[in-house]
Amino acid sequence: MKGKLLLLLAAVCCCFGGLRAQEAEGGVKFVEGKTFNEALAMAKESGKLLFVDCYTSWCGPCRMMATKVFPQKLIGDYFNEKFVSVKIDMEKGEGPELHKRFNVRAYPTFLFLDADGKELHRIVGGDADAAKFLAKVKEGLGEKGLAAMTARYDGGERDTTFLMDYLEVLDGAYDAEKSAEVAEVLLKNRGADMLSNPRLYGAFLKYNTSPLSESFRYVFSHKDEFYARYGKEGLDRMMSAAWMAYPRNFIKKDADGKVTYDKEGMAAYVEEMKKCNVENCDEIVLLSDINVAEATGDWKAYAANCSRYIKEYGAKDMYIYNWVLRIQKNCADDAEVKTAAVGWMKDRIAALEAEKAKLPPLKEGEIRAMPMMDFSKYYERLIKDLEK
């Protein structure tokens, strides 16, 4: 009986192994052992386009695409005829250079290039539905693809429907900078139209990132009208985020890693915030000082500013956790800075324990909801590492 069972299990394994092999044979055929330039040369020689799967080893959606989608015959039939396909780990070998060259912002990113290496389209993120993914690919290489839409925009096309469609394509490509530019073109001198056109207002909320833009200034000066039409919460959240994030534009890092900080630009921005009565102006300035200290490698100023923030504005765990991670990664040789970071975390562990002790007791059968991140555990690991 035992022997028959082993034979049956072996047969089942062979059967499923054969199915996997057939799926692999019918799926996308990725070239192996080739550099990006070699794969590009293969595409040019064969008269095909180049498909680049930009992935990392830790990316779950990347693995899903590799094991569930790309092995499917539906995908393979199209890709193998149209593309030379290559997978490149963005953290190994030539990956980091290509990551910068193509401005990859998230994983997985799928690049579709012509034989000269010009980007025709990109898709950011996976899709377990192979048919839907294939439809995105085909649409992206057609008239509504990134390259085609950009050519139309660069050619001067500016009608509202086109600009809205272009914004959706840019959003799918994670190109926030270009999205902000196109949104400003779309919304220029149309502040009043936003009050009667929810789609235009939605584009403002989603794509405008500059509190100095013409559209932002119009909405800001007519807030009460927009509150009455669309509500207060969403607009306030968007404006607060814009004021908070914009100072990063005054910190620039060139290709050689040299950092410059536009102090005059930041000073003018602070005056603008004061003129507009931005409530958390001082907090925004302090957070900007933290970012400048990090960018310039002034870790003593970085730690001092972080300590000041905690004292003046309270401890926010996500802030503290990320501040410490940056110190752990970039400032391993400054004992004073590490001591300060350890102090922040120990104070937070004690505070979190005190908060937990104040929680009311559970009734019989109840189970307390777990937080998304147990910061105490993360802090304990970081403390152990920094105190080595």
Long-range contacts of range 237-241, CB-CB < 8 Å, 24 or more positions apart? Answer: 238/205, 238/208, 239/211, 240/280
Cα 307 to the center of its chain, rounded Å: 28
- For residue 49, the cross-strand partners are 83
Write out the DSSP string of 2-38. Answer: HHHHHHHHHHHHHHHHHHHHHHHHHS--EE-S--HHH
Helices and strands, counts by H and E, the chain? 20, 7
Q: Which of 13, 15, 62, 281 is catalytic?
A: 62
Residue 248: alpha-carbon gap to chain centroid: 16
How far apart (Å, rounded) are the C-alpha atoms in residues 346 and 374? 14
Strands 49-55 and 30-31: unpaired
Catalytic residue among 13, 14, 54, 59: 59
- 59 as an active site residue: the answer is yes
The H-or-E segment that residue 112 falls in is strand 109-113
Query: What gap in Å lies between CA 238 and CA 246, rounded to an integer?
Result: 12
CA dist 364 and 370 (Å) reads 17
Residues 6+ apart with CB under 8 A from 184: 208, 210, 213, 214, 215
Structure tokens belonging to residue 246: 């914009």
Q: Tell me whether residue 334 is exposed, middle or buried, using C-beta atoms within 10 angstroms of its C-beta: 0 to 12, 13 to 18, 19 or more.
A: middle
Quote the CA–CA distance of 110 and 124 in Å, as a whole number: 6
Sign of the Cα pseudo-torsion (280, 286, 289, 295, in order) = negative
Distance CA 129, CA 338 (A): 47
Q: Which residues are catalytic?
A: 59, 62
